[in-house]
Structure 1
Amino acid sequence: MTALLTLLKSKDVSFEMITHPQTIRSAQEGADYFGIEIGQTAPHLVLETENGYVSAILSGDRGRLDFQAVAAILGCQEVKLASPKKVEEITGFRIGTVPLVGLSLPCLFDRSLFRYPVVYGGTGEAQSTLKIAPAAVEACNQVVGYLD
């Protein structure tokens, strides 16, 4: 988590690290725990394409990801979720803990997160959550496209 804190401080963005006694395993669990709308949670997924790996930061109320739309945005033929083993291999983090910022992957960003003043997402550790403005998440990632 030290690298995450260093990055956030270097970008001079406001954020809050929240520790909690339980592991939050889903967007719904996060929304329930923090008393927020599910759309305010921001799962960070890793996707596999024929051109390599890409991350996607989504609003928790998005539902299923349209892989054909993602492929069109990225200019590739096929997109699928990376396996849990690949996610850990590529990012160093387990699924469900992938930090909102700091990955060295191109990133797709869900514009619907801008509905909220802050969003909640991973820190790399199972029992902590990052509370941060969507614009700060956008600024701290290598955004290559947007999901509407």
Structure 2
Amino acid sequence: MSKSVNRVKAAAEAAGLTVEILRMPDSTRTAAEAAAACGCDVAQIVKSLIFKGGETGALKLLLVSGANQVDLDKAAALVGEPLERADPKEVREITGFAIGGVSPLGHLTPVATWMDETLLGFGTVWAAAGAPNAVFEITGTALRDATGATIADLG
């Protein structure tokens, strides 16, 4: 396992979770690819979207259902500042993850996190585990608790 995948596993264990990280034979980079690989509905895929605060420059993590699109105006109101696309190099430096494998857990530096309320409506959801083909299954409640995410309507 890669260092970033091991970091996700360690973060889950530190949060009191037992998760099995699965390495899929194909990419799980997109929500559709992940849903096909995991055998679940695309809505059960957790998209880990990183944005940069337009005023503070701080990274913001939005955990969004794979079936939903983020309403950037609504998200900006929730986080308290305009949001911009984050630079992939900066995302990797701060979180330790490359775009396409950003996990909700195991960031090198803590990132303020908001979670799509839709994700709480499923028995389990699937999230990236630090690599473009690594995923783990978790309940929405456990994900919220482990990330300290603020639950919100992001769509």
Q: Normalising to structure 1: TM-score of the pair? A: 0.89
Q: Could you tell me which of 60, 68, 81 is aligned with 2:73? A: 68
CA drift of 1:18 comes to 1.2
- Alignment length, in residue pairs? 146
Match of 1:96? 100
Structure 1 residues 73 and 95: alpha-carbon distance in aligned structure 2, compared to 1, 3 A threshold: same
Q: Gaps spanning 5+ residues in structure 1: where?
A: none
Given that 1:15 and 1:133 are in contact with CA atoms closer than 8 Å, whether structure 2 keeps it comes out as no
Q: Deviation digits for residues 70-90 of structure 1, max 9, x if unmatched?
A: 1111222x1122122222122
Q: Normalising to structure 2: TM-score of the pair? A: 0.86
CA distance in 2, matches of 1:114, 1:142: 14
The reply on whether 1:27 has 2:31 as its aligned counterpart is yes
Given that 2:29 and 2:133 are in contact with CA atoms closer than 8 Å, whether structure 1 keeps it comes out as no
Q: Specify the code of the residue in structure 1 equivalent to 2:65.
A: S
Match of 1:47? 51
Q: Deviation digits for residues 91-110 of structure 1, max 9, x if unmatched?
A: 12111101121331010110
Q: Gaps spanning 5+ residues in structure 2: where?
A: none
CA drift of 1:67 comes to 1.1
The reply on whether 1:79 has 2:83 as its aligned counterpart is yes
CA drift of 1:13 comes to 2.3
**3-state secondary structure, aligned to 2:149:** strand
CA drift of 1:132 comes to 0.9
CA drift of 1:144 comes to 3.9
CA drift of 1:136 comes to 1.2
Given that 1:25 and 1:96 are in contact with CA atoms closer than 8 Å, whether structure 2 keeps it comes out as yes
**3-state secondary structure, aligned to 1:130:** strand
Match of 2:113? 107
Given that 2:44 and 2:124 are in contact with CA atoms closer than 8 Å, whether structure 1 keeps it comes out as yes
The reply on whether 1:11 has 2:15 as its aligned counterpart is yes
Q: Deviation digits for residues 46-81 of structure 1, max 9, x if unmatched?
A: 111112211110000002x111111111222x1122
Q: Specify the code of the residue in structure 2 equivalent to 1:131.
A: E
